[in-house]
Amino acid sequence: MTLARHLRLALRAMRRYRLRSAFVMLGTFLGVAALAVVLSVGAAAERRILETVRQIFGASSMVVYAGGGMFRGGPRGPSARLTLDDLAALAQDVPGIEAWDPMQALPSEVRHGDRTVSARVLGHSERYERVWGRAAVQGEHFDAAAVAGSARVALIGRTVARALFGQEDPLGAEVLVGPVACRVVGVLEPFGTDAHGIDRDNEVVVPISTAMRRLMNVDTIRAAKLLVAEGTRVEDAAGAATRLLRERHALGAGQPDDFTVVTAVEVRKRVDGVRRVLFVFLPLVAGITLLAGGVLAASLMLASVNERVAEIGLRGALGARPQDIRGQFLAETAVTTLAGGLGGLAAAAVISRLAAGRMGLDGGLSLTAVVLGLALAAGIGLLAGILPARRAARLPPADALR
């Protein structure tokens, strides 16, 4: 019997035994859908995390945060202090530091006329563009004189510009950042969302001195990024920075750091941990669902053999060979589970796109998820059909017709 005939008989059996076919399809539908969603959303999340790491750290840099334990599971201490003098000392005494930029941050209402938007306000120095690699697509960055004079100037992201100005040109306009009126001198290039789902275009950048004195009235900073010169190992520079900051903060041998030094190497280790969860443990759960679906399919097909003894005997009496009957039941199981897998992929395409959109990620169903889902659905179907097919093929036609 040809493969085409086996497939026609399988489709005919699916229409005839609809309820049984639906239950056989259910297991692979759920398993393939879960597997495809996990793989697709996980791949999109991994791409976004790695892209954010590249944007923040670049080829060679490190970020210093105020407070210990930001990346080590502990809370940031309220007494943590990181100052501009600390950064100046790092730039002077740590070999290989070629540029640095401080950062302060606060949420604030930003207003223009009768329009208001809640945005993240960042304080940076005149080195912001060089250190963080984010240019202005309109206007220009503020200079060292603006930082020295705590100037009331601001760079705004695309989301802020769209919310406050619509199609109008924002350059030269005045916006109220909290209680401080600032003149817009530039619009930042688009960034998109970061790995935490934060819209980085919903930001306003002002001089660090303006943020510290006029907006927050503090003498500390939240973080800083330091560029490491080519030829200098980032890990060596991070170790030297840690020793110097501990000395400046008068921390004893048993006291924990009140700051956190992070390099791209450490972040990538964290990403590897996330990858293990996304691409090993969660797919394993989906695989167990597929296995359960295969057991269900085998049980239902065995029951089907018992119900169709007369049909099997009649086919044998009419000249069907054991391999023909065996191929028929294998094809029925494989086609039914494959149909469930196709349905699972269709559902996963919708779910993964919705989930990625809610999480601010790009991409839908991944090619890996499609290939693996189809292969597993077909494989589960063939494995689940072996025992029922062998049992059907071994039924003597004379006994089956009695």
pLDDT digits (tens, 9 = 90+) for 240-250: 999 999 999 99
Alpha-carbon distance 332 to 329, whole Å?
5
Strand partners, 184: 154
Per-residue pLDDT band for 7 (boundaries 50, 70, 90) equals low
Which value, to the nearest 10 degrees, does the dihedral of the CA atoms of residues 161, 164, 170, 174 take?
-130
The packing angle between helices 309-317 and 282-307, to 10°, is: 70
Q: Could you say which DSSP state residue 316 is in?
A: H
Bridging pattern class, strands 203-207 and 223-228: unpaired
Structure tokens at 157: 């992201």
Q: What value does the mean pLDDT take over residues 273-302?
A: 68
Strands (E), 253-321: 259-263
Q: What mean pLDDT is predicted for residues 144-153?
A: 96
**Tally of CB atoms within 10 A around 339:** 21
Considering only CA atoms, which of 82, 45, 50, 85 is closest in space to residue 63? 82
Rounded Cα distance, 167 and 165, in Å? 6
Query: Above pLDDT 90, what percent of the chain?
Result: 36
The phi and psi torsions of 390 (rounded to 5 degrees) equal: -65, -40
Contact indicator for 111, 176 with CB cutoff of 8 Å: yes
Q: Are 215 and 108 in contact (CB under 8 A)?
A: yes
Separate counts of helices (H) and strands (E) for the chain: 14, 10
Is residue 125 within 8 Å of 147, Cβ to Cβ? yes
DSSP assignment of 320-340 equals --HHHHHHHHHHHHHHHHHHH
Cα–Cα–Cα angle for 6, 12, 15, rounded to 5 degrees: 145
CA-wise closest residue to 79 among 208, 258, 335, 205: 258
Identify the DSSP state of 2: -
CA 240 to the chain's CA centroid: 33
Q: How far is CA 240 from CA 96, 177, 323, in A?
A: 10, 38, 74
Q: Is the pLDDT of residue 89 over 90?
A: yes
- Cα separation, 75 vs 67, whole angstroms: 8
Give me the torsion for CA of 233, 235, 240, 245, rounded to 10°.
Answer: 140
Residue 273 CA to residue 205 CA, distance in Å, equals 33
**pLDDT given for residue 369 in this prediction:** 74
Count CA atoms closer than 13 A to 57's CA, side-chain side.
Answer: 23
Asked if residue 78 has pLDDT above 50, the reply is: no
Cα(247)–Cα(400) distance, rounded to whole angstroms?
Answer: 89
Q: Using CA atoms, how far apart are residues 139 and 155, in angstroms rounded to an integer?
A: 9
Distance CA 238, CA 15 (A): 67
Measured between alpha carbons, how far is 210 from 106 in angstroms, rounded to an integer? 12
Residues 304-359 have pLDDT tens digits of: 665 555 555 555 555 556 666 666 667 777 788 788 888 888 888 888 888 777 77
Q: How confident is the model at residue 71 (pLDDT cuts 50, 70, 90)?
A: very low
Termini Cα distance of the chain: 26
Of 306, 348, 308, nearest to 33 (Cα)? 348
Q: Is the model more confident about 356 or about 131?
A: 131
* Distance separating alpha carbons of residues 46 and 18, to the nearest angstrom: 41
Q: Which DSSP category does 125 fall into?
A: -
Give me the residues paired with residue 227 across strands: 61, 99
Mean pLDDT of the chain: 80
Does residue 376 have a pLDDT over 90? no
